[in-house]
Structure 1
Amino acid sequence: MFALPAFAADEFIDKAAAGRMFEVDSSKIAEGKIQNRSVKDFAQKMIDDHGAANAKLETIAGKQKLKVPTELNAKHRSDLEALQTAKDPIDKSYVQMQRDAHADAVKLFESYAKDGDNAQLKTFAQETVPTLKMHQEMIEKIASTTHDTSSTSSTTPAVTTTDTANPAAPAPGANSFTEDQAKSRIQDAGFSEVSALTKDDQGIWRGQATKDGKKIAVALDYQGNVVAGTN
């Protein structure tokens, strides 16, 4: 029986360093554009915690003459550019980016902690996993609460009534919500019997739901805005 190959050190360093640079850089950009206090506090924590972890990773790599990347990949650069050019506030976009980044980071560090081929890096990964999971729990909790308060924390609030129009939402954009997540968010916004959800070519989830006894059209954009009465 053949043993599975160990997780290579250089691959781990590349992915870990790039991911953590992105989390710090995106948080620095977002800090001045964030409106929600809990999101702003999270951004500052990312700058502090990941900055320290990056320094530790560089020290370990330097002692073993392993190269640490100094530039982000194309996707990360694109995400940073989107944050830089977005109109304030960017709370929801930033939160979703951090949710995705931490899901990837936890998976990466857990994999290397289990199957890594470098003892020092493996220990580093093992010691870092609890912090990453704590960050992940924090951002998931923020995500579950901020979309409910969007009407008071955003200059372009989500619409939850059928007699109010909001030209800013639903906003087109790359939507990372799965169908189940979209359904859950719409239900959290006060709707029931959510059905017939489909994602259109603008990245907007559209379907039918019931509110106040009436069957109406609903939409969910990539920012998490839930809009009623849209076709």
Structure 2
Amino acid sequence: MKHRLLMTALSTCAALAFAAPSYAADKAQDFVDKAAAGGMFEVESSKIAQGKAQDQAVKDFAQKMIDDHGAANAKLETIAGEQKLKVPAQTDAAHKSELDSLNTGKDSFDESYVKMQRDAHADAVKLFEGYAKDGDNAQLKTFAQETLPTLKMHQEMIEKIASGTNDKSSTTSSTTPAVSRSDTNNPAAPVPGANSFTEAQAKSRIQDAGFSNVSALTKDDKGIWRGTAQKDGKQVTVALDFQGNVVAGAQ
């Protein structure tokens, strides 16, 4: 009788020992599936944005998504391969539907893209936070921990862009639509909003508008680059907003 009980106990322990890795693999695979689907959506939607977005800040954000998520996707694929986990070849049905909407939708592209990015990054941060804390696969857990700060940075960026879009809408509604072309005059410019132009890009944009000797550029708390320049032989103050509007003499 004792022998039979011992054998039963050993059999149970063996079954648990074999079941545990299987359960762990299932959890790891679920993370890979969701992370890969979200990452592919980021890259694919942002490639669409590169061709259809009107706001320069949105285009710049889209390029960063292509670069950052492209690198993260490649790293995830490498780790998954080492762990004998399968990476989906394409994104999931829900994300495909959103991609179709971006391609064919009649609503404002920039607003639709920004909203999707806000939702996608909220989901991604939640997914990676959970796995970074309780992940069952050491390499994937490290990947989640290392990637999470970048996702949170993206989240902050898109929230600022969303805020800038709202500011733009309220500021220009009684004047002219927000523009991103330097050859179009917006009487409401310079428009406050999240500005993704680097100092070098801002200087180049101002020079393209006919100014020379651009210097002392600083970005104020409203997202507007301000500095000094010369035009028609005169020293003037100059400003560049997030839409690309260049305004001389702005204080």
Q: Is the 8 A contact 1:9 1:116 kept in 2?
A: yes
In the aligned structure 1, how far is the partner of 2:67 from the partner of 2:106? Answer: 25
| 2:155 is equivalent to residue 130 of structure 1 | no
Residue in 2 aligned with 1:55? 74
Contact 1:35 1:153 in 2 (8 A): no
Structure 2, unmatched stretches of 5+, are 1-22, 180-251
Corresponding residue for residue 147 of structure 1? 166
Q: TM-score, normalised by structure 2?
A: 0.57
Partner in structure 1 of residue 97 of structure 2: 78
Counterpart AA for 2:160: K
Q: In structure 1, what is the equivalent of residue 47 of structure 2?
A: 28
CA drift at 1:153: 2.7
| 1:29-60 Cα deviation digits (max 9, x unpaired) | 11111111111100000000000000000000
The gaps in structure 1 that reach 5 residues or longer are 155-231
Aligned pair 1:114/2:133, yes or no? yes
* TM-score when normalising by structure 1: 0.62
Q: Deviations over 1:93-112 (max 9, x none)?
A: 00000000000000000000
Letter in 2 for 1:22: F
Misfit runs of 4+, over 2 Å: 86-89, 150-154
- In 1: Cα distance, 2:64 partner to 2:57 partner: 11
**Which residue of structure 2 aligns with residue 65 of structure 1?**
84
How many residue pairs match? The answer is 150
Deviation at 1:78, TM superposition (A): 0.7
Amino acid at match of 2:178: S
Q: Could you tell me how far 1:74 is from its partner in structure 2?
A: 1.4
Say whether the 8 Å CA contact 1:34–1:40 is kept in structure 2.
yes
Q: Which moved more, 1:30-39 or 1:133-142?
A: 30-39
Shift of 1:65: 1.2
Is the CA contact (8 Å cut-off) linking 1:33 and 1:89 kept in structure 2? no
Question: Which has more radius of gyration?
Answer: 2
Counterpart CA distance in 2 for 1:33 and 1:86 is 11
Provide the identity percentage: 75
User: In 2, Cα distance between the equivalents of 1:153 and 1:65?
Assistant: 50
CA RMSD of aligned residues (A): 1.7
Indicate the residue corresponding to 1:41 in structure 2: 60
Counterpart in 1 of 2:9?
none
Equivalent residue of 1:117, what SS? coil
Greater helix content: 2
Deviation of 1:148 (Å): 1.9
Tell whether the 8 Å contact from 1:24 to 1:47 is kept in structure 2 after alignment: yes
* Alpha-carbon offset, residue 81 of structure 1: 0.4
**Would the aligned equivalents of 1:113 and 1:126 in 2 still touch at CA under 8 Å?**
yes
CA deviation map 1:104-126 (0-9, x unaligned): 00000000000000000000000
Compared CA separation, residues 79 and 16, structure 1 to 2 (3 A): same
